[in-house]
Structure 1
Amino acid sequence: MSPTQSTAQVLSTIHRRHDQDSSKDRASSPSSRSWSSNVSKRLSRSHKAKQYNKPSDSQRRVRPGRAPGTRHRTWAPPLVLVSMFLCFYAVNPHESNIIHHFLFLSYKQKDPDDDPSSSPAPSYYGKGPWDLAFVFFYTIVLSFTREFLMHEVLRPLARACGITSPRTTSRFTEQMYTACYTALSGPLGLLVMRRTPGLWYFETRGMYEGYPHQAHEGLFKFYYLFQAAFWIQQVVVMVLGQEQRRKDFREFVAHHVVTVALIGLSYRFHFMRIGIAIYVTHDISDGLLAIVKSLNYAQSSLQAPVYALCMACWIYLRHYINLRVLYSILTEFSAVGPFELDWAAEQYKCRISQVVTFGLLAGLQALNLFWLYCLFRSAYRFVMLGIAKDDRSEAEESEGEEVDNTVKGRRPGGETRIRVE
């Protein structure tokens, strides 16, 4: 190797080391760190922008091969449970099968006055622990029914009525389900009342004659336990947060607690005849109110006359009839039939039960008076002030509705709707 080549290699090595040192200095300099920080911030902003512009669930396209609404099929789990019960019963469809107690009424009694030569008399049933199994099974049945109707039947109905907001659609389906249920339970309750001696039409004396009422006709017992399953299922919905909260959520919870307490105590201490009257008065008025709310969400022109009918029925059923029942507890409760505590004879019509029954029904009446005030306030604002906005919803729901109206080119609050409290 010549001296000239050796000198060139040395100079090349010196230049490479100098370039490496310079790059290290630039990397450790403040300006370099600032440049790196700016790059990181820009990348972070870009990531956040992508998240902010991420399409919502309603805007996403359904993946190929997946049916629309699959992720919302909340009715599938209760359907599986109901199917399992039916399959287990189909293996041995007799009373000896334990599943029989879940599907059918238990404790059937033979009427000593039954004449085989005459027409068959209605069957009577007593009470016992297996009634809880019946209530449990039909709570699952109602859970499936509610979710299936709301998502597969009532949600398309909401779209057909022009309701596109997710929150309003949810409200509409909830109220329509209540309307559908009470459209069946209300007339059935009137039929049970008609078939019960001394109870038609809201006759209070018949609630206490012949006490204790330890056995009931099959239709009577089925209706009472099925209603118990409905209210327990409503409590499950409330606990799981499946319904959107409103401003009267505390009153709503109190109403459910009082109702379930009345159902359980009336069943245990043989006051189910009083419970029939309370069931009927609340089912019919609840159904009309649910129809009014549904018409309100659908912006129907029928909401005003139906609202007037709802208020009239509410006052008559929930206040006039229920106040008559409360008055009978103060008077006929102790005057008609035995009035003593006898655990052996299951005689519970005494001073303690009188106070407890009156207290729970009075608490229910107080809640109904609160909602009656809300109904009158809504009617006054609609007639006198022209305010037709539902203010029972939470603030965030109102903001969401306003955005939804703006996107669709509608003026927020431009619809003429009765404010349903």
Structure 2
Amino acid sequence: MLKWLSEVFWQERLWFPEGLGWADLEDRDGRVYAKGRDLWVALPIAFVFLVVRWIFERTVATRLASLLGVKEIVRVRATHNPTLESYYCSTSKYPTQSCVERLSKQSGCTERQVQRWFRRRRNQDRPNLLKKFREASWRFTFYLLAFIAGLAALVDKPWLYDLQEMWKGFPTLTLLPSQYWYYMIELGFYASLLFSVASDVKRKDFKEQIIHHVATIMLISFSWCVNYIRAGTLIMLLHDSSDYLLESAKMFNYAGWRNTCNYIFILFAAVFIVTRLIIFPFRIMYCTWIYPVTVYPPFFGYYFFNGLLMILQCLHLFWAVLIIRMAVRFLTSNETVEDERSDKEETDESGEEEEEDKTREMKRNGPIQNGHVIHNNNHRKTE
């Protein structure tokens, strides 16, 4: 059954233009071509990345966090309450008002105490700043090095400047060692992100991130198998060109360097819009949609490849809305740039509760000054 499915899936008429096939990608005359079996190399590379990341985050990233002054927010822990804990774990982290009233009766706490307990409990589950900083440091380091390496590998290639060169001679395009390692390292990195997604900081665009990782892995793998490598290298370089700026802005944000974070974020927003909303759709995708059909008739692989690019472009538009919204807020009101994908720390309202405690104390014992009760000594003396 599996053999039949494999034969059906890898039919030459699906993945190649008419008259071309897998035989055209067999090594000959000293020319080497990409092979589907090469992709297995990405799995051990992904596990190496996981190990290197673990070491990096606990040594380099932790030291860097200390140098930049990353400070943790002191969180007040929720007191142990079996009734509220059971509801929190099994039912909801955000109880409705009617549930708060019921939990108040069951736990013997006031409604305000129940609400405060849930706020503190939710804050306990949020990742701390050091964890966020470590993750951002790791991704910044990879994206920056990958961008530099990709630029070095492509700077002397004609298809970097003339996009039609991507398809010249397709599919018999010779594989270069720099292309091999660029592909395997990028594929291994995104596979490692997919493996670690359960333990990484979860943001509001968690589902979109999963879709992005899966689409990226499929795009890299497919473009490798059918020798769309020149287009693949350009797409990877384009994505890496802005990602390291975003991660560096996050790092400075977690460190409290607000002005530095804001200016880097504005630079990131500009690079993101130019690369993802202008160059990617109007140059890269134009060349993958329009030019190939002037060379050979459309086939399934042509539509499949461009379909994956469309998924990426939809994600680009989704993130662009968030990025532009944050950038406009900063430019118009000079507010601090905040990541809208992250859950914000909830205030404990402790100051408000202390005021209420003082008010109650005043009603019982009279005015309070500097925390001490003032007794009324202004009795009129009888002459």
**TM-score, structure 1 normalization:** 0.59
Among residues 142, 163, 176, which one is paired with 1:217 in the alignment? 176
Aligned to 2:108: none
Distance 1:352 1:391 in 2: 38
Contact 2:269–2:327 (8 Å) recurs in 1? no
Aligned to 1:328: 287
Q: Is 1:147 paired with 2:96? A: no
Q: Deviations over 1:220-252 (max 9, x none)?
A: 1111111111111111111xx121101111111
In structure 2, give the amino acid aligned to 1:362. M
Map 1:320-399 onto structure 2 (within 5 A).
320-323=278-281, 324-336=283-295, 339=296, 350-388=298-336, 389-394=338-343, 398-399=345-346
Aligned to 1:245: 202
SS of residue matched to 1:199: helix
SS of residue matched to 2:290: helix
SS of residue matched to 1:316: helix
User: How much has 1:383 moved relative to structure 2?
Assistant: 2.9
Q: Deviations over 1:36-91 (max 9, x none)?
A: xxxxxxxxxxxxxxxxxxxxxxxxxxxxxxxxxxxxxxxxxxxxxxxxxxxxxxxx
User: How much has 1:386 moved relative to structure 2?
Assistant: 4.7
Q: Is 1:174 paired with 2:135? A: yes
SS of residue matched to 2:189: helix
Which one is further off, 366-375 or 305-314?
Answer: 305-314
Aligned to 1:162: 69
Distance 1:327 1:180 in 2: 31
Contact 2:276–2:316 (8 Å) recurs in 1? yes
User: How much has 1:214 moved relative to structure 2?
Assistant: 5.0
Could you tell me which runs of 5 or more consecutive residues in structure 2 were left unpaired when the two chains were aligned: 1-24, 73-126, 352-383
In structure 2, give the amino acid aligned to 1:286. D
Aligned to 2:224: 267
User: How much has 1:128 moved relative to structure 2?
Assistant: 3.3
Q: Is 1:134 paired with 2:41? A: yes
Contact 2:57–2:134 (8 Å) recurs in 1? yes
Change (3 A) 1:333 1:110: closer
SS of residue matched to 1:216: coil
Change (3 A) 1:195 1:261: same
Contact 2:36–2:225 (8 Å) recurs in 1? no
Contact 1:149–1:177 (8 Å) recurs in 2? yes
Distance 1:363 1:390 in 2: 23
Map 1:50-65 onto structure 2 (within 5 A).
none
Aligned to 1:280: 237
In structure 2, give the amino acid aligned to 1:354. Y
Change (3 A) 1:213 1:185: farther
Change (3 A) 1:155 1:219: same
Larger radius of gyration: 1
In structure 1, give the amino acid aligned to 2:135. E
Q: Deviations over 1:284-320 (max 9, x none)?
A: 1111111111111112232232222211211122222
State the Cα RMSD in Å. 2.5
Q: Deviations over 1:374-402 (max 9, x none)?
A: 1111112223345434442235xx13xx4
Contact 1:289–1:310 (8 Å) recurs in 2? yes
**TM-score, structure 2 normalization:** 0.65
Q: Is 1:311 paired with 2:269? A: yes
Distance 2:301 2:155 in 1: 26
Distance 1:232 1:328 in 2: 28
Aligned to 2:81: none
Change (3 A) 1:309 1:386: closer
Q: Deviations over 1:318-345 (max 9, x none)?
A: 2222111111122101113xx25xxxxx
Contact 1:285–1:318 (8 Å) recurs in 2? no
Distance 2:327 2:131 in 1: 24
Distance 1:109 1:155 in 2: 47
Contact 1:125–1:218 (8 Å) recurs in 2? no
Contact 2:36–2:224 (8 Å) recurs in 1? no
Q: Is 1:205 paired with 2:164? A: yes
Distance 2:44 2:319 in 1: 32
Change (3 A) 1:268 1:167: same
Change (3 A) 1:386 1:200: closer
Q: Deviations over 1:232-285 (max 9, x none)?
A: 1111111xx121101111111111121111111111111111111110011111
In structure 2, give the amino acid aligned to 1:394. D
Distance 1:295 1:108 in 2: 49
User: How much has 1:174 moved relative to structure 2?
Assistant: 0.9
Task: Give the aligned length.
Answer: 270
Change (3 A) 1:312 1:391: closer
User: How much has 1:182 moved relative to structure 2?
Assistant: 1.3
Which one is further off, 180-189 or 312-321?
Answer: 312-321
Contact 2:166–2:230 (8 Å) recurs in 1? yes
Contact 2:46–2:188 (8 Å) recurs in 1? yes
Change (3 A) 1:210 1:245: same
User: How much has 1:360 moved relative to structure 2?
Assistant: 1.2
SS of residue matched to 1:246: coil
Could you tell me which runs of 5 or more consecutive residues in structure 1 were left unpaired when the two chains were aligned: 1-106, 113-123, 341-349, 407-421
SS of residue matched to 1:302: helix
Distance 1:223 1:271 in 2: 14
In structure 1, give the amino acid aligned to 2:331. V
